[in-house]
């Protein structure tokens, strides 16, 4: 989906940075997208699991540009078995939520009035839960990792709602995009039987990356969407967040857990 979003944004006339996990092929892909869209696409190394990588990326953006008009948080991962950072924190949670949190917070000073932040969420947030050990590594099972994925998407939703309130006075629109079930490489468990079954019987019924990207593109480029903030959108239409999540005290707990993690890792914002 990232490529589809990048192409659409570049075609709309934005100078676009496609920030991705380091990959030698992506620089040539960016050149190709620049040629096809007649826009300007720049590749940037960004590992959302690595605070130093986030800092280097933000520093390079600040060095080259005075402002950011559009930030799209699209990256996501789902490991079929337990993977940790520093043998302590769950990799999926750290990339999907905490990495995006840090990147966004560090780029906020560059966001001008009327900028937009679009965060790709997931319908799986409804199965998520915020609890005191959510950042810690859990059981080594694909079931636990799917739960961690859901938890990370719920955390992203809460973060987006907080940002929408925080940035209201600057007229910065912050919204969530739900792409639906998209047949990307993230739908894999590295089990040949499971993955083969999905490839034959399940993946053909999933959305294509191009279709999955449509709502994020709509939120990023549609003129009217600059007037709406704090929304959750699916199929380019705003739908209500499930009320029990809005009434829960988990949102406040997430703020506390995030602040504690920032302190523990000695991160400056």
pLDDT for 185 equals 58
pTM given for the model: 0.89
pLDDT band per the 50, 70, 90 thresholds, residue 76: confident
Residues facing residue 136 across a β-bridge: 89
Mind listing the pLDDT tens digit for each residue in 163-177?
999 999 999 999 999
pLDDT for 194 equals 52
pLDDT for 79 equals 72
Contact by Cβ (8 Å): 43, 49:
no
pLDDT for 146 equals 82
pLDDT for 201 equals 44
Q: Are strands 237-238 and 231-234 parallel, antiparallel or unpaired?
A: antiparallel
Mind listing the pLDDT tens digit for each residue in 21-49?
988 888 899 999 999 999 999 999 999 99
Mind listing the pLDDT tens digit for each residue in 106-136?
999 999 999 999 999 999 999 999 999 999 8
Say how many C-beta atoms besides its own lie within 10 A of residue 193's C-beta. Answer: 8
Instruction: For the chain, list the domains and their CATH numbers.
Output: 1-45 (no CATH), 52-264 (3.40.50.720)
Mean pLDDT value of segment 201-218: 75
Percent of the chain scored above 70 by pLDDT? 88
Asked whether the predicted pLDDT for residue 190 surpasses 60, the reply is no
Q: What is d(CA 127, CA 110) in angstroms, rounded to the nearest whole number?
A: 34
Say how many C-beta atoms besides its own lie within 10 A of residue 143's C-beta. Answer: 9
Contact by Cβ (8 Å): 153, 121:
yes
pLDDT for 14 equals 96
Least confident of 32-41, 95-104, 190-199: 190-199
Mean pLDDT value of segment 98-104: 98
Diameter over CA atoms, the chain: 52
- Closest CA relative to residue 43, chosen from 11, 16, 76: 16
Residue in the structure block whose two tokens are 């079929």: 80
pLDDT band per the 50, 70, 90 thresholds, residue 192: low
């Amino acid at each position: 989906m990232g490529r589809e979003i990048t192409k659409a944004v570049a075609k709309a006339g934005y100078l676009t940075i496609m920030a991705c996990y380091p990959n030698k092929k992506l620089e040539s892909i960016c050149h190709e997208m620049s040629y096809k869209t007649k826009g300007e696409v720049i590749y940037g190394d960004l590992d959302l699991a690595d605070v130093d990588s986030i800092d280097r990326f933000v520093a390079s953006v600040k060095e080259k540009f005075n402002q950011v008009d559009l930030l799209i948080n699209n990256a996501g991962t789902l490991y079929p078995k337990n993977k940790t950072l520093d043998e302590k924190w769950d990799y999926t949670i750290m990339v999907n939520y905490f990495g995006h949190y840090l990147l966004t917070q560090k780029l906020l000073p560059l966001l001008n009035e009327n900028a937009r932040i679009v965060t790709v969420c997931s319908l799986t947030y409804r199965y998520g839960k915020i609890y005191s050990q959510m950042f810690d590594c859990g059981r080594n099972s694909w079931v636990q990792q799917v739960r961690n994925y859901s938890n990370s998407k719920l955390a992203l939703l809460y973060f987006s709602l907080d940002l929408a309130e925080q940035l209201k006075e600057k007229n910065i629109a912050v919204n969530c995009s739900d792409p639906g079930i998209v047949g990307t490489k993230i739908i894999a468990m590295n089990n040949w039987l499971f993955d083969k079954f999905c490839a034959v019987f399940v993946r053909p019924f999933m959305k294509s990356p191009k279709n999955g990207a449509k709502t994020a593109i709509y939120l990023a480029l549609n003129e009217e969407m600059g007037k709406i903030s704090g929304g959750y959108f699916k199929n380019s239409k705003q739908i209500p967040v499930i009320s029990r999540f809005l009434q829960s005290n988990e949102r406040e707990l997430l703020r506390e857990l995030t602040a504690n993690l920032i302190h523990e890792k000695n991160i400056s914002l």
